[in-house]
Amino acid sequence: MLELRHIDKYYNPGTVNEMCLFQDFSLKIEDGEFVSVVGSNGSGKTSLLNIICGSIDVECGQIFVDGRDITHMREYARHGRIGRVFQNPAAGTSPGMTILENLSLADNKGKHFFLGRGINEKRIPYYKEELSRLRLGLEDKLDVKVGSLSGGQRQALALLMSTMTPIEFLILDEHTAALDPKTAEIIMELTDEIVRQKHLTTIMVTHNLRYAVEYGNRLLMMHEGRTIIDAAGEEKAALGVEDLLGRFNEISIECGN
Amino acid sequence: MTLIIGILEQGLIYGILALGSYITYKILDFPDLTVDGSFPLGAAVTAAIVTAGGNPYLAFLVSALAGALAGACTGLIHVKCRVRDLLAGIIVMTGLYTVNYRIAGMANVPLFGSETAFDNAWINQLPESLSPYKTLLVIAVVAVLVKVLLDLYLKTKSGMLLRATGDNERLVTTLAKDSGTMKIIGLAISNGLVALGGSVMCQQQRFFELSMGTGTVVICLASVIIGTSVFKNVRWMKPTMAVIIGSVFYRACVALAMNIGLVTTDMKLIMAVLFLVILIVTADRKKKVKNHA
């Protein structure tokens, strides 16, 4: 279980540009939930993920995982139990290394990186099998440098790499936003498949309202650092894209746009 | 013939240094100026050990360790104190000037009469016909050994994580590893090799001089850039090999320039101009100038 308690987050504290994003923000995510997060730009979606992953600090409040306070745990240490896929397909892989080398690195997550052989040849059939699930033909390109793959291929690989070792949380930061509609569809289906198969607690930020409605079992809509919709189970299943769009418009009117 | 042997000797020694710089410049993408201090550091440590009658091969090892320590300092300053990469190198390089003087005891230390790695009872057992080549032979063995060990290291888990650190730091974080630690390790290995080169150089020229490090970074980067850009499309050649060849080639260019009547004091200008020519000729220029200017 992941829990944010009374989080305060300011940007540019102490300057004239000080901006309060979160004030007394709390959120609880149960094990096995697949949470879609939507909201306009600047509503705090990505900041929420960054706070959970430790990429940014909070001014006040605490973050708990299974009752353990991780507020002051360093970013890299938190990733022992977190897998993360970024919006930029280049962020999740090492472009100068081959697919095989990238997978070997990911496969070793959670273990020591000492002087053992970097590539375990015995694992190659397993890598090929995993790659063939992507249906992108990457299983025959093990020795190709990742930098020469397309954005969609790289994102699929990044998704595979981030979920290769046992993790508890999968953090998806608009991971289909930089892809063409068809590739985005493939990646989204793949994500759902992996999340179901590995029973991952997932938080997905997306601007695609249809994905937010179709996938996952809980939906959050954020606005100015608050959750204005929090629907789970049947309530979530009943939500449609129109409902979300309607709410978006209401907010815009409130803001005077 | 003497000229060619000289070029090969110097080229291979600087090849060891270039392998060190290859780690920082090409793998970690870290412009490391520490080398201007860690190169004479290796020489100073060697001068101290060898003049005291210590084992010259042990001097190689101790020099490399001293260099690794210097590199780790640069890494710690950069990672823990959040000082910019160039400045971290300049700070350690400047500090090392004093350290080197303290270690060597004097600004100039001649090694005449002491046993060196190239002139001792053991190496002198080589047949008479090989004796003009014995220095080159020892240098080549050291250079090849360093190259092979570095190749092996880069294939280990730690080595692959080091490559990933230079390539995409964020990936290392998501692999639950501290990229800062990897940078420190990379800088330590790099400067260890540079100091080892300093040790070899000191014993080969039988001389330690406090200012011998000036311009080391230029020689190293020139070698790395020549090697990696000339052999970019030669798939079977490892970059480590390319870097050593680049170093020999650069040394040959300098030797040629010296041969047309210029004197020793002109050397630094020749090196600098040659480096500029290399930067202009190779395609690396655009990307690297933008990144490091």
| Domain range annotation of chain A | 2-94+151-254
The per-residue pLDDT of chain B, averaged, comes to: 89
How many angstroms separate the Cα of A173 from the Cα of each of A36, A86, A106, B178?
10, 5, 19, 21
Across A71-80, average pLDDT:
89
Q: Residue B284: inside a domain, yes or no?
A: no
Mean pLDDT of A25-43: 88
Residue B271 forms part of a structural domain = no
- What is the pLDDT, as a whole number, of residue B283? 60
Q: With bands split at pLDDT 50, 70 and 90, how would you rate the model's confidence at A134? A: confident
In a domain, B83, yes or no: yes
Rounded mean pLDDT, A139-160? 90
Output the average pLDDT for chain A.
87
Segment A90-98 shows an average pLDDT of 91
Q: What is the pLDDT of residues A232-254, one digit of tens each?
A: 888 888 888 888 888 888 877 76
Burial class of A89 by CB neighbour count within 10 A (0 to 12, 13 to 18, 19+) = buried
In whole angstroms, give the CA distance from residue A102 to residue B85.
27
For residue B227, tell me if it sits in a domain.
no
Task: Test B164 with A83 for CB contact under 8 angstroms.
Answer: no
pLDDT of residue A254: 65
- Closest to A226 (Cα-Cα) out of A4, A62, A60: A4
Beta-strand pair B207-209/A201-205: unpaired
Which chain A residues contact residue B172 at CB under 8 A? Answer: 76
Put simply, the answer to whether A113 touches B170 (Cβ < 8 Å) is no
Residues in chain B with CB shorter than 8 Å from the CB of A105 are 160-161, 164, 171, 175
Q: Which stretches of chain B sit within 8 Å of chain A by CB? A: 153, 155-161, 163-164, 166-168, 170-179
* B31 belongs to a structural domain: yes
pLDDT above 90 coverage of chain B, percent = 65
B179 interaction partners in chain A (CB closer than 8 Å): 76
Amino acid B288: pLDDT? 45
State the pLDDT at residue A20: 84
User: Each residue of A177-232: pLDDT tens digit?
Assistant: 888 888 888 889 999 999 998 899 999 999 888 898 888 889 988 888 888 888 88
Q: End-to-end alpha-carbon separation of chain B, Å? A: 41
**What average pLDDT does this structure show over A161-188?**
89
CA distance A236 to B68: 58
| pLDDT one-digit tens code per residue, A55-67 | 988 888 899 988 8
Q: What is the pLDDT of residues B30-76, one digit of tens each?
A: 999 999 999 999 999 999 999 998 899 999 999 999 999 999 999 99
Are the C-beta atoms of B217 and B19 separated by less than 8 Å? no
Domains: count for chain B = 1
Average of per-residue pLDDT across A113-130: 88
From B20, B44, B33, B21, select the one nearest B98 (Cα to Cα). B44
Which value does ipTM take for this structure?
Answer: 0.88
B208 and B63 Cβ atoms separated by less than 8 Å: no
With cut-offs at 50, 70 and 90, classify the pLDDT of residue B247.
very high
Interface probe, candidates A49, A74, A85, A94, chain B, greatest B C-beta count within 10 A? A94
Between B139 and B115, name the one with better pLDDT.
B139
Q: Would you say residue B221 lies in a domain? A: no
Cα distance between residue A222 and residue A237, in whole Å? 18
pLDDT, tens only, B81-134: 999 999 999 999 999 999 999 999 989 999 887 888 888 888 888 887 887 888
Q: Are strands A82-85 and A169-173 parallel, antiparallel or unpaired?
A: parallel
Q: Do B158 and A113 touch (CB under 8 A)?
A: yes
Distance from CA of B160 to the nearest CA of A (A): 6
* Domain extent at residue B174: 2-212
Q: How confident is the model at residue A255 (pLDDT cuts 50, 70, 90)?
A: low
Amino acid found at A4: L
Dihedral angle sign, alpha carbons of residues A237, A240, A246, A248? positive
Structure confidence at residue A256 (pLDDT):
55
Q: How many Cα neighbours within 13 Å face the side chain of A253?
A: 6
Contacts of A78 in chain B (CB under 8 A): 176
pLDDT score at B248: 94
Residue with tokens 């600004």: B107
A40's CB contacts (< 8 A; 6+ apart) are A223, A248, A251
> Which residues of chain B have a CB within 8 Å of the CB of A144?
none
> Span A8-28, mean pLDDT?
85
Position with higher pLDDT, B289 vs A220 = A220
Spatial distance between the Cα atoms of B43 and B204, rounded to a whole number of angstroms: 10
Cβ contact B176–A115 (<8 Å): no
From B150's Cα to the closest Cα of chain A, the distance in A is 12
Higher pLDDT, B103 or B230: B103
Answer whether residue B269 shows pLDDT above 90.
Answer: no
Structure tokens at B50: 């060898």
| pLDDT above 60 (res B293) | no
Whether residue A105 and residue B158 make contact (CB cut-off 8 A), yes or no, is no
Query: Domain A2-94+151-254 - what CATH class?
Result: alpha beta
Residue B104 within a domain: yes
Chain A residues with CB inside 8 Å of B155's CB?
A: 117-119
pLDDT of residue A179: 85
